[in-house]
């Protein structure tokens, strides 16, 4: 059964129709590349799945049950994690502190409970090893490369039993070697049965890692195809509008 299903989802900001009547479903362990030009509605769409925005119309359901989310923690409780376009990390904290931000481990009994840093360093270290990342738990995020920051942001999603991970442009601003690392992180999530929606402007990344590609143009879904049935040329045409709608 589909882990996630969107039915006729729309989002308006006043007169702006950011997302119009989009439907699709996502299977466990499926990686879907979500592509489209600037302003096509990609971030708005995944923010609705992550509980950041309420849809103006339509329904979102998970494992067959409708989800009504009022805030991002509601999505997280359902196993939906998002890595935002701007990563939203705290530069002055360590990698481990960022992984656990807002869900810190404590020891002792209230009101004497204290933050359990050794446990957090240990668990963060395990997560980075699991992700095959060289990121060290005690390193400060402000001293990290773009790829290491990605690993921290993705590490956050591994804390809970995520079923769906949404990634907004994870490879936009990083080096070639780090891109390979992030694509490996995505394969690793898939191998664990986690479904991934990968927003990207980078055609090679999507054709490398995705099972399926969805293209949006001006808020509408104009393609939803198995990657092997499409091509970079077709996707480019769909993004620009040279091709109206996928065959
Ligand atoms: N909070 C908001 N308030 C008003 N309008 C918004 C808001 N967020 C997005 N929009 C508008 O919705 C449309 C879709 O924006 P969105 O950020 O979803 O695009 P995108 O596909 O993610 O683009 P990019 O590739 O540049 O990140 C744009 O016209 C944008 O200006
Ligand atoms: Mg965006």
- The residue nearest atom 24 of ligand 1, judged by CA position, is 38
Number of domains in the chain: 1
pTM of the model: 0.88
126 in any annotated domain: no
pLDDT of residue 218: 96
Whether 113 is in the pocket of ligand 1, judged by its Cβ within 6 Å, is no
Q: Measured between alpha carbons, how far is 5 from 7 in angstroms, rounded to an integer?
A: 6
- The residue nearest atom 16 of ligand 1, judged by CA position, is 41
pLDDT of residue 185: 83
151 in any annotated domain: no
Q: Which CATH number characterizes residue 233's domain?
A: 3.40.50.300
pLDDT of residue 75: 92
Whether 42 is in the pocket of ligand 1, judged by its Cβ within 6 Å, is yes
CA 240 to ligand 2 center in whole angstroms: 16
Whether 161 is in the pocket of ligand 1, judged by its Cβ within 6 Å, is no
104 in any annotated domain: no
137 in any annotated domain: no
CA 138 to ligand 1 center in whole angstroms: 35
Exposed e or buried b per residue across 151-169, where buried means at least 16 C-beta atoms within 10 angstroms of its C-beta: bbbbbbbbbeebbbbbbbb
Domain, as residue range, for 201: 4-92+163-240
CA 85 to ligand 1 center in whole angstroms: 12
CA 143 to ligand 1 center in whole angstroms: 30
30 in any annotated domain: yes
24 in any annotated domain: yes
CA 87 to ligand 2 center in whole angstroms: 12
247 in any annotated domain: no
190 in any annotated domain: yes
Q: What does each of the 247 residues of the chain score in pLDDT, given as a tens digit? A: 899 999 999 999 999 999 999 999 999 999 999 999 999 999 999 999 999 999 999 999 998 899 989 888 899 899 998 887 766 778 888 889 888 887 888 888 877 788 888 999 999 999 888 877 788 999 998 888 877 888 888 888 888 778 999 998 877 766 777 788 788 889 988 998 999 999 999 999 999 999 999 999 999 999 999 999 999 999 999 999 999 888 8
Atom of ligand 1 nearest to the CA of 40: 21
- The residue nearest atom 26 of ligand 1, judged by CA position, is 38
How many CB atoms are located within 10 Å of the residue 49 CB?
A: 23
Residue 66 buriedness (CB in 10 A; 0-12 / 13-18 / 19+): exposed
pLDDT of residue 103: 82
Whether 218 is in the pocket of ligand 1, judged by its Cβ within 6 Å, is no
């Amino acid at each position: 059964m589909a882990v996630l299903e969107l039915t006729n989802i729309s989002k308006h900001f006043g007169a702006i129709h950011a997302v119009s009547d989009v439907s699709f479903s996502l299977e466990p362990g499926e990686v879907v590349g979500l592509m489209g030009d600037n302003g096509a509605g990609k971030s708005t769409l995944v923010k609705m799945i992550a509980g950041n925005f309420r849809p103006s119309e339509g329904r979102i359901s998970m494992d067959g049950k409708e989800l009504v989310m009022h805030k991002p923690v509601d999505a997280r409780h359902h196993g939906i994690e998002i890595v935002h376009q701007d990563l939203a990390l705290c530069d002055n904290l360590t990698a481990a502190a960022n992984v656990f931000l807002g869900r810190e481990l404590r020891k002792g009994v209230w009101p004497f409970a204290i933050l359990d840093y050794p446990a957090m360093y240990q668990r963060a270290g395990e997560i980075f090893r699991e992700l095959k990342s060289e990121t060290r738990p005690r390193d400060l995020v402000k001293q990290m490369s773009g790829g290491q920051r990605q690993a921290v942001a993705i590490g956050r999603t591994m804390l809970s039993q995520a079923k769906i991970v949404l990634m907004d442009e994870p490879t936009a601003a990083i080096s070639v070697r780090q891109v390979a690392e992030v694509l490996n992180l995505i394969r690793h999530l898939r191998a664990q049965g986690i479904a991934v929606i990968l927003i990207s402007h980078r055609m090679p990344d999507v054709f490398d890692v995705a099972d399926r590609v969805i293209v949006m143009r001006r808020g509408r879904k104009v393609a939803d195809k198995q990657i092997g049935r499409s091509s970079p040329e077709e996707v480019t045409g769909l993004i620009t509008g040279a091709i109206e709608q996928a065959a």
